[in-house]
Structure 1
């Protein structure tokens, strides 16, 4: 939640809420929090326990962990679906959204809360799995269009599918060793992010 607040403040102060700048701000804030995490790991001597979680993966997930985040996931999905129509208005531009009666601050707060809850639930169970949250929504919009009432559920399904495929690749590339899941998703996400950043720059 604190990282999300920092990212939104950084984005709104100078460059606006553009997707590329939010991603860059997120990377910078993530580096800061990663450094804080490393300090806590050393201080409390929990490096071994944390090493599996930090690389991301679904092979060690137990039903107790899933049941622990199910209520939060359901809450996040309900919130995401309820705000999806308003987010669709934002995709046409802030002026049009305001003209159609949208309240930007309320839309952003509700959407940010949904993202925070859903991302937090996923990471709490599977750890950080790279660029899934960046790649999948863009691909989904290409398939189903810009209506977020469709983008939200299809992104959930395609995101889960991407993680499962990446996990199978991580297990089969170099047996009997398993490549970190985050490394596999990064192989897809980094080129896509560079393409997205270059496209935005050309358009700008």
Structure 2
């Protein structure tokens, strides 16, 4: 039986096997089942005239890789947010960060209709920053705003406001269809070129997250303890927030809003590996990627042969988990 000290090593050691398994499941199963020999031939002897080969290489592989990456990005973002705020309800979706990204993309579509993909990604990152600043500003000045439940309420209200504002702007300027495409989780329409373009941004976000992981462990003990140990808490928060903004912004730019991954996975990871963020960050990335990849596969069978939006699948799991956390932990901070 693995001990708490060996669990992170086990998770990271099994990661390649789990990732390959998720990709295989994603490639093999869907509205059209494809046998393993066809998958092998698509990789070894790709035939542009073969419809199954086209589906595998241009639809299912990018979709599987996208689900793994986005799940990892959101889980890492959630872990960082929970650690630096000591708020067990913090996550990109609940704190309004994903809605901020989508709001900025809406403005970009209206003001810069000929925007390149890079400009869309940049807009998404700016929107993430705006949402974070807005939530933190309101939380600081409202009664009980800095408590976990208080910040979750403020984040939800902020996200709802930004989402409603986006819908109003989109309707007025008649870009509702385009905005809806960005808002709704659309792993099934993930563009391979967009994934390639997002990777350099993601590398920066992940490197920042890993480099801040030791500092987040100390910060999660409490601001006074962290300051007493000589840590520059403001610098740590700024850099960790930059990582969250990059990873969340990339996720929204790639596939729209996907809720609850950043809430569920960090809690599961802490339960498995303990409170050291040097292990939590990479393990959350692995578990988040595998979780969203499996949710994507499950979404194809819930209403077969039609696909269920992956946001519905994550919400079915996430909403009860969210309510459980509130019931179990009340309004206090974790740690």
TM over 0.5: yes
Q: Distance in 1 between matches of 2:283 and 2:250?
A: 18
**Bigger shift: residues 188-197 or 13-22:** 13-22
CA contact (8 A) 2:209 2:281 kept: yes
Q: Is the 8 A contact 1:57 1:167 kept in 2?
A: no
- Alignment counterpart, residue 121 of structure 1, candidates 235, 250, 253: 250
Question: Is the CA contact (8 Å cut-off) linking 1:20 and 1:196 kept in structure 2?
Answer: no
Give the greater-gyration-radius structure (CA): 2
The verdict on how the C-alpha distance between 1:152 and 1:17 changes in structure 2, with shifts beyond 3 A counting, is farther
Deviation at 1:50, TM superposition (A): 2.9
Q: Deviations over 1:163-190 (max 9, x none)?
A: 1111111111112221111111011111
Shift of 1:33: 0.6
Contact 1:170 1:179 in 2 (8 A): yes
1: CA distance, partners of 2:135 / 2:250: 19
1:158 is aligned to 2:284: no
Residue equivalent to 2:134? 6
3-state SS of the aligned residue for 2:137? helix
The partner residue of 1:36 within 144, 165, 176 is 165
Query: Which has a greater percent of helix?
Result: 1
Q: Take 2:261 and 2:238, find their aligned partners in 1: how far apart are those partners?
A: 22
The equivalent residue for 1:60 is 189
Q: How does 1:37-186 map to 2 (within 5 A)?
A: 37-186=166-315
Deviations 1:80-126 (A, max 9, x none): 11111111002212221111111221111111111111111111101
1:8-63: CA deviation from partner (whole Å, max 9, x where unpaired): 12223343644433332221111011011101221232223333432213111121
User: Secondary structure, in 3 states, of the residue corresponding to 1:78?
Assistant: helix
- Measure, in 1, the Cα distance between the counterparts of 2:244 and 2:296: 23
Is the CA contact (8 Å cut-off) linking 2:269 and 2:283 kept in structure 1?
yes
Q: Distance in 1 between matches of 2:317 and 2:299?
A: 13
- For the residue of structure 1 that corresponds to 2:189, the secondary structure is coil
Query: Alignment partner of 1:59: what SS?
Result: helix
C-alpha separation between the residues in 2 aligned to 1:12 and 1:138?
25
Flag structure 2 segments of 5+ consecutive residues without an equivalent.
1-128
Shift of 1:202: 7.0
What is the alpha-carbon distance in structure 2 between the residues aligned to residue 190 and residue 129 of structure 1?
13
TM-score, normalisation: structure 1 = 0.92
